[in-house]
Amino acid sequence: MDYKLNVTYITFGGHVEVQKYRYLYFVIMFTAYILIICSNSTIVCIIVINKSLHEPLYIFIAAFNSVLYSTAIYPKLLIDFLSERQIISYSACLFQWFICYSLGGSEFFLLLVMAYDRYVSICKPLQYHTIMRKTTVNILLILAWLLPACQISVAPLMINNEKLCYFVLKGIICNSTLNKLQCVSSALLNIYGLIVFVITVPLPVLVILFTYTRIFIVTYRSSREVRRKAAQTCLPHLLVLINFSCLSAYDVLLARLETDFSNTVRLIMFLQLVIYHPLFNPIMYGLKMKEIYKHLKKLLMYSPRLSYSH
């Protein structure tokens, strides 16, 4: 193979018997992609259509969806399953890495502001509308998208012109293991990546846990009705947080661990990140949050009647 071609293109080496099961993989992932788009879009549409849900919490939930994240992964993945060679250009790989990690960082930021919203709503109810004004919500949404993008963009820019000695990536998408393809590992990049990881994952998680601890202390001293309402809105957030934190920590730390996991183990963890998590979010918010579930139930009951009338 030509050296220039090797420098330009990266081969995905994490597929498990893709030649044998290519059509099975394609059907499973295509079905998952459609379900992710439909379920997440349904939650967003319900929040947009119903004015009663035009509150900060539900606006943050609408912004916290996996459609963009999945779209950055699934189309290329589906093409690879049907291709003889699973390759990607180095520049496209860097772009996919940037998109996936910046969107992942946005999810943690949105989880953080949702926790803050619940804290103000439950612990400072009289000041809620003063603190969580429309301007404040808009600023938080902009920061949720811009801050992670600015932080993550530094890493691809740093390694864009670095010389590569390896051209096979241990995975089926471009992730944090990409920097292992360099001839010489960059100490500066490793330090910067660790700082970004701490700012993006452990720090927000600790703040969120502290916030919910304060919420539980306040609700414990309140009436049973207050505790019930707090549990309805806080429990889905905590479950999503725990789920996403574990998967993100595995993905980021994978590049820093010397343990050589088998392709099967990597594939199982990858499927949890790109299938389980994007489907877990709408299920939690659609079924566990009373207001969204109420409108979802109306929509499901209305659709059969509409079809029958036609």
pLDDT tens-place string over residues 1-11? 444 444 578 99
Which one has a higher pLDDT value, 247 or 126?
126
- Given this model, what pLDDT does residue 9 score? 87
- Given this model, what pLDDT does residue 98 score? 92
Using one digit for the tens of pLDDT, what is the confidence trace for 95-120?
Answer: 999 998 899 889 889 989 988 998 89
pLDDT average, residue stretch 55-67 = 86
- Given this model, what pLDDT does residue 260 score? 67
pTM of the model as a whole: 0.84
pLDDT category at 258 given cuts 50, 70, 90 is low
Which one has a higher pLDDT value, 183 or 233?
183
- Given this model, what pLDDT does residue 293 score? 76
Percent of the chain with pLDDT over 90: 22
- Given this model, what pLDDT does residue 186 score? 75
DSSP-derived pairing of the beta strands 168-169 and 9-12: parallel
pLDDT average, residue stretch 133-151 = 92
Percent of the chain with pLDDT over 70: 90
For the domain made up of 3-309, give the CATH fold: Rhopdopsin 7-helix transmembrane proteins (1.20.1070)
- Given this model, what pLDDT does residue 309 score? 47
- Given this model, what pLDDT does residue 247 score? 77
Both tokens of 152, joined, read 């993550």
Q: Which of 127-131, 175-179, 216-220, 249-253 has the lowest mean pLDDT?
A: 249-253
Is residue 253 over pLDDT 80? no
Give the span between the Cα atoms of 43 and 282, in whole angstroms: 7
Buried b (16+ CB within 10 A) or exposed e, 31-67: ebbeebbebbebbbebbeebeebebbbbbbbbbbbbb
Phi, psi of 88 (to 5 degrees): -150, 145
Give the span between the Cα atoms of 53 and 42, in whole angstroms: 14
Q: What is the CB neighbour count within 10 angstroms for residue 196?
A: 18
Both tokens of 25, joined, read 């993989």
- Given this model, what pLDDT does residue 81 score? 93
Question: What rounded mean pLDDT belongs to the chain?
Answer: 83
Is residue 205 over pLDDT 80? yes
Is residue 23 over pLDDT 90? yes
- Given this model, what pLDDT does residue 255 score? 57
Which residue, among 245, 254, 73, has the nearest Cα to 178 in the 3D structure? Answer: 254
Contact 14/171 with Cβ under 8 angstroms?
yes
Domains of the chain by residue range: 3-309
pLDDT average, residue stretch 256-268 = 71
